[in-house]
Structure 1
Amino acid sequence: MTTPAPTRPLPSGVYSSRPWRIHQITEDFELEDVWALPVQGGADDFPRFVESTMSGDDRDFPAAYRFLFAVRWALGRMLGTEQDEHGLGRRVASLGDRLPDDLRDLPAPERDDSPFHPLYLTDREYAAEIANRTMHGVLHLGWVEDDGAPDGFSAQLSVLVRPNGLFGEAYMAFIKPFRYLVVYPALLRTVGRRWEAAQEVGR
C-alpha cells in the first residue's frame, strides 16, 4: 500500500503561487485554509480521486464530526442562515456565471445530497461552491506534482470565502477553532481512507 502523504496546513503561497484556473473567478474571495491531503497518485488519477472524495456515505466520518455538523445545521435553521433566499442564485449569483467558456464545458460530478454545487473538473482541479447567510464559499481540490510522492502527484485542499458583512466575519472567526480541532482532522482522515479504498478497487 502507498505510504500516506502528510496531513498538514500549508502556507497561503502554496495556493496563490500556482496557476490555478480558480484564480480567474475568485478575485473577490479570501483564502481561508490550505491543506496537504493524505492522498498520492499518478498523473491520470485526479478525476478518480475527486469521485472518491465527493461520493460515499457521511457515516464514514467520525461521530464527533457528524455531531458538530448536526449542531451547525440546527443552529443554521434556528438563525435562518440556511434558508433558500440566502443561497446560490438568491443572495449571491453562482460563480458558474463567471466561468470562461472552456471551463463551462468541463462539468463536475454532482451529489444530490451535498450542499456543495460543483463548478468544474479538469485533470488537475476541482471546484465547488456553497452559499448561505454567513458567506459564499469555494472548495478547491488540486493535483500537484510532488517529488516525494511515489507516483509523482499529491492532493491539496483550499477553502476560499467571501463573508457576508460583519455577521459573516464574526461567524467565520467563531467556527475557526472547531474547523481546526474537529472538522479538518476528521475530513482529511476520511478523504485518505476513501482514496485508499478506491485504489484497492482499481488494482
Structure 2
Amino acid sequence: MRIPNTEFTERPWRAHEITQDFLIEDVWVLPTPGGPDDLDRLVAQMTDGDGEAMSISSNVIVGTLWTLRWKLGALLGWDKPEKAVGRRVPSLLERLPADLRAVRGPDVQGTPFTSVFQTPDEWLAEFANSTVHALMHMGWVEDDNGGYHAQMTALVKPNGLFGKLYMRAISPLRYLLVYPHLFREIGKTWRAGTPSRSGKP
C-alpha cells in the first residue's frame, strides 16, 4: 500500500543526513509483519542467495518488460560499468558519518543495488546508471497494534532532462505491474521464511 511521503520525511531516519539532494519517488508499506528486531531478517531475505526476493522474473509480463529494458539498456549503453555508483556518481558511502561507516550491511545479490548502511531499524542501498542515481530505503516501524513492519521508500536523483523523462515514462509500469508483483513476492517469501524473534509469523 502506498502511503504519504511524510511517513518518510517526518521520521528521524539517519538517511536524512545524506539524502537531502534526492527526491522522494514514493513510500510503501510492505507485507512483512514481525517483531521489533526483525529488520535483520528482512535484509537477509532481500540480500541472500541470487536476489530471489527482489526478482520479478516469475511474472511473465513483468519479466518480459524487464528483459526488454535490459536489452535496450545494453543497446544504448545505459548500464555500462562507467555509469554505475563510484564511476558516474560518487557513492553515498563517501557522505557517511563515522558511526555509520562501520555498519554498511550486505549488498543485494543478483541486482545492481549495493548497501550503504544498516542500523537496527533502517537499511539504505543504492545503484546508478545513465538515467538515475536511485536509493532504496527500508525502515522498520511500529504498527498501531504494537506489531512491526517495513516501509520502503524510493529516492531518486534523475540524470538531467533525459533522466526525468525516463522516470516519468516508466512510472505507469512501476505502479501497475512491477511494484504489485514485487511486493507480493516479498510478502510470500516473508510468510514462508523463518519466524520472527517475537514468535509472530
Pairwise same-fold verdict (TM > 0.5): yes
Q: Give the partner amino acid of 1:85.
A: E
Q: Distance in 1 between matches of 2:29 and 2:175?
A: 14
Q: Give the partner amino acid of 1:25.
A: I
Name the structure 2 match of 1:124.
Answer: 121
Name the structure 1 match of 2:173.
Answer: 178
Same amino acid, percent of matched pairs: 45
In the alignment, structure 1 segments of 5+ residues that lack a partner are 1-7
Give how far 1:65 is off: 2.4
Name the structure 2 match of 1:28.
Answer: 21
Distance 1:98 1:201, change over 3 A: closer
Q: Residue deviations 1:25-51, cap 9 Å, x none? A: 110000001111111110111101111
Name the structure 2 match of 1:198.
Answer: 193
Name the structure 2 match of 1:97.
Answer: 94
3-state SS of paired residue (1:39): coil
3-state SS of paired residue (1:138): strand
Q: Distance in 2 between matches of 1:67 and 1:22?
A: 34
Q: Give the partner amino acid of 1:129.
A: E
Name the structure 2 match of 1:133.
Answer: 130
Are the counterparts in 1 of residues 56 and 62 from structure 2 also a CA contact under 8 Å? no
Distance 1:59 1:161, change over 3 A: closer
Q: Distance in 1 between matches of 2:37 and 2:195?
A: 16
Q: Which runs of 4+ in 1 moved over 3 A?
A: 58-61, 199-203
Q: Give the partner amino acid of 1:156.
A: Q
Are the counterparts in 2 of residues 117 and 128 from structure 1 also a CA contact under 8 Å? yes
Q: Distance in 2 between matches of 1:192 and 1:179?
A: 18
Are the counterparts in 1 of residues 57 and 63 from structure 2 also a CA contact under 8 Å? no
Aligned ranges 1:33-72 → 2 under 5 Å? 33-55=26-48, 56-57=51-52, 58=55, 61-72=58-69
The number of residues matched between the two structures is 194
Q: Distance in 2 between matches of 1:110 and 1:104?
A: 15
Are the counterparts in 2 of residues 60 and 190 from structure 1 also a CA contact under 8 Å? no
Q: Residue deviations 1:153-193, cap 9 Å, x none? A: 11110000000000000000000000001110011001101
Name the structure 2 match of 1:81.
Answer: 78
TM-score (norm: length of structure 1): 0.90
In the alignment, structure 2 segments of 5+ residues that lack a partner are none
Q: Give the root-mean-square deviation of aligned CA atoms.
A: 1.8
Q: Distance in 2 between matches of 1:103 and 1:160?
A: 19
Give how far 1:10 is off: 0.6
Larger CA deviation: 79-88 vs 24-33: 79-88
